[in-house]
Amino acid sequence: MCSYNKITFFCQHFEYRVAKHCHFARNDPGHQCFGAWTIKREWDEPQELCKDCAKQQIYSPSAM
């Protein structure tokens, strides 16, 4: 079972990042996990936009 971190950004979007690969994913060349996964930690990034919003400049700098 792979473990992920869930990060919530200022724009209210969130992303999952791998915290720990399971045994099968560690041994797979593409690190693919076909089993269940869990959220190990959750945290907020109140001053940071997600990659997509930062790329599109949806929020103006004055709004932050």
At 2-46, the pLDDT tens digits run 999 999 999 999 999 999 998 888 898 988 888 888 999 999 998
Average pLDDT over residues 48-60: 79
Q: What is the pLDDT of residues 19-30, one digit of tens each?
A: 999 888 889 898
This prediction has a pTM of 0.71
What are the residue ranges spanned by the domains of the chain?
Answer: 2-63
Assess contact for 4 and 16: CB atoms under 8 A: yes
| Among 13, 15, 16, 17, CA closest to 53 | 13
